[in-house]
A and B are shown apart, each in its own frame.
Chain A
Amino acid sequence: MEETVLLVDDEEDIREVLRFFLSEIGYSVLTAASGKKALEIVCSDHPPVVLCDIKMPEMNGIELLRKIKSESPDTEVIMITGHGDMALAVQCLQLDATDFITKPIEENVLEFALKRATERYDMRFRLREYTEKLEQLVEEKSRQLIDAERMAAIGETVAGLSHSIKNIAGGLKGGLFVLEKGLELDNREYLQQGWQLVRRNVDNIRNLSMDLLNYGKVGAAHFRRVDPNLPIREVFRLMTPRAEEQKIRLEMTLDQGLAPIVLDPDGIERCLLNLVTNALDACADYESQDGAHVVHIQSNKRATAGVVYRVLDTGPGIDDGVREQLFQNFFSTKGMRGTGIGLMMTRKIVELHGGDIRIESETGKGSCFIVRLPAEPPSMPSNSSPTP
């Protein structure tokens, strides 16, 4: 393909000589007699290379160079300077001219400078093309990767779920076995134990299906501006009878000076309910040295705007290995009682609010779950579809 050069010089005979020479060595030539005309052509024809005399009336070469570089930074500009005018030549290079050649013009020097300029232009053009293609490729591959990860997550979910169900089915089968033996041998103890086993596992399957139902609701959050103490009060009210039943003291400390924040009250209530249920379960399974167990829930102002909820218990605490797995899908420390969905869902809801959840715990000294929420979720989600 023929490369185009824009030739800018105010002297007509120089234009003619150079045009003749440039055509001869294979360039297609545009000419301009002034800086103003040259700028028009740069904007309309986008020649890759401009060859420009530095001494021109009205707009001189330096000024034109500056304007070309601001209008069309990719254009390669070669300046023609007077002999021995080193200061001007350096100034041209500082203004990002590709090259300069001095008068009187030597043909092979001009040819070489033009070749270098067009090559640079082509190279840059190709580089940009590659970069764009690469970006496209990266984007495409990333999308495929995300799809694959999503599929893997679904696979994991199904595997975890079938594990939970298998456990419950096992418990039911065990219960039925013990019941049958009770009937067969007319043994009241077996009958009672088998019956309780079946009942516990029926509870388990109900919990699992409730948890799954709730998990499905996570995506459909309804955000509104409320008192952050609203969900915590509700949880306290709901859980007090159960705590009394388990002989655990449930306490609540509220920061009364909290400004209303934007949250999904049902979602946050579910989170706190999960955490309090876990705290009660942890205490119930653990014989404390100094007698009575306490579960304490509290709200505090966050250093930045927002709220910090804390759920503290006097249970056995959580060791490091378990802590790492705690928020993973279907991880449970509750043996056959746990579904492994509670904390996974809790984290998901908190993250939907743009908040975070962490644990402070020491083996033997209880645990503290800390949920921090900002004053507003990052971008108000449109509640369109629940994420898988």
Chain B
Amino acid sequence: MNPKTILIVEDELDMRIFLKTAMETSGYLPVLARNGDEGFQKARDILPDLILLDVMMPGEGGVTMYRQLKTDDGLRDIPVVMLSAVEEETYNHYIKMLNIQTKGPIPPPNAYVEKPPDPDVLLNVIRDLLA
């Protein structure tokens, strides 16, 4: 069986190295992207099984990419794990405020993991979503 592909969209080098290693050593095939544009392009090219997305990249890259994913017919069903340094509650509030301003509300991510992520917690979340 082919390994599941995981797209990692993360602007910080340290975090990319850690996530790549964690995915590789758990039997997944990681693909790396450094920003939202690159991430969205790669998502279209490789159709990953799951996306790990840092939401707090500079210039709102994370949220914009998430919106693009959720409004794209071919990509909307790919599960997304949101990574962020802010608490989940704060993030949810942020999204709520964002939804008020825009036409189509965006659905919540499949999972939300606070940064820095604990490898075991993160891998459990991913395992559940891919099961």
Interface residues of A, Cβ cutoff 8 Å to B: 163, 166-167, 169-171, 173-175, 177-178, 181, 184-185, 190, 193-194, 197, 200-201, 319, 333, 335-336
Instruction: Given A193-B21, A201-B14, decide whether A177 and B119 contact each other with a Cβ distance below 8 A.
Output: yes
Please name the 9 residue pairs, one residue from A and one from B, whose CB atoms are nearest each other, closest first.
A170-B116, A174-B18, A178-B21, A335-B12, A181-B25, A193-B17, A171-B14, A177-B119, A336-B14
**Which residues of chain A are near B118, meaning CB under 8 Å?**
173
Say yes or no: is B15 at the interface (Cβ < 8 Å to chain A).
yes
Which of B58, B116, B117 contacts A167 (CB under 8 A)?
A: B116
B11 near A335 with CB under 8 A, answer yes
Q: Are A197 and B58 in contact, CB atoms less than 8 angstroms apart?
A: no
B115 within 8 A of A: yes
CB-based contact A174/B15 at 8 Å: yes
Number of A-B contacts (CB under 8 A): 49
What is the interface of chain A mostly: helix, strand, loop, or mixed? helix
Bound-state Cα–Cα, A190 to B11, Å: 20
Set B17, B22, B25, B119: member contacting A197, Cβ < 8 A: B17
Query: Which residues of A are found within 8 Å of B98, using beta-carbon distances?
Result: none
Q: Are A336 and B119 in contact, CB atoms less than 8 angstroms apart?
A: no
Q: Count of B residues near A, CB < 8 Å?
A: 17
Instruction: Check A169–B119 contact: CB distance below 8 A.
Output: no
Is the beta-carbon distance between B85 and A163 smaller than 8 angstroms?
Answer: yes
Q: B117 to chain A: closest CB distance in Å?
A: 8
Chain A residue contacts of B18, Cβ below 8 A: 174-175, 177-178, 197
Apart from A194-B21, A197-B14: 14 A-B pairs, beta carbons within 8 A = A163-B85, A167-B85, A167-B115, A167-B116, A174-B14, A175-B18, A177-B21, A177-B119, A181-B21, A190-B21, A190-B25, A335-B12, A336-B12, A336-B15
Contact with A along B17-33 (1 / 0, CB 8 A): 11001100100000000
User: B: which residues have CB within 8 A of A?
Assistant: 11-12, 14-15, 17-18, 21-22, 25, 58-59, 85, 115-119
Contacts A177-B22, A181-B25 given; indicate if A166 touches B116 (C-beta within 8 A): yes
Interchain CA distance A335-B59 in the complex, whole Å: 13
In the complex, A109→B50 CA distance in Å?
Answer: 97
Assess whether A178 is in contact with B12, with CB atoms less than 8 Å apart.
no
**In the bound complex, CA of A201 to CA of B12 (Å):** 13
Q: Contacts A169-B116, A185-B25 given; indicate if A174 touches B12 (C-beta within 8 A).
A: no
Residues of A with C-beta under 8 A to B25: 181, 184-185, 190
**A residues in contact with B12, CB < 8 Å:** 335-336
Inter-chain CA distance A163–B15, complex, in Å, is 16
Cα–Cα distance between A177 and B58 once the two chains are bound (Å): 26
* Cβ B116 vs Cβ A171 within 8 A: yes
How far, in whole Å, are A319 and B18 apart by their CA atoms in the complex? Answer: 30
Cα–Cα, bound, A177→B25 (Å): 11
Q: Which residues of A contact B117 (CB under 8 A)?
A: 170
Residue from B17, B58, B59, B85 in contact with A174 in the complex, judged by beta carbons closer than 8 Å: B17
What is the bound-complex CA distance between A333 and B95, given in angstroms? Answer: 22
Q: Which residues of chain B are within 8 angstroms of A177 by Cβ–Cβ distance?
A: 18, 21-22, 119
Residues of the B chain whose Cβ atoms lie less than 8 Å from the Cβ of A333: 58
Contacts of A171 in B (CB 8 A): 14, 116
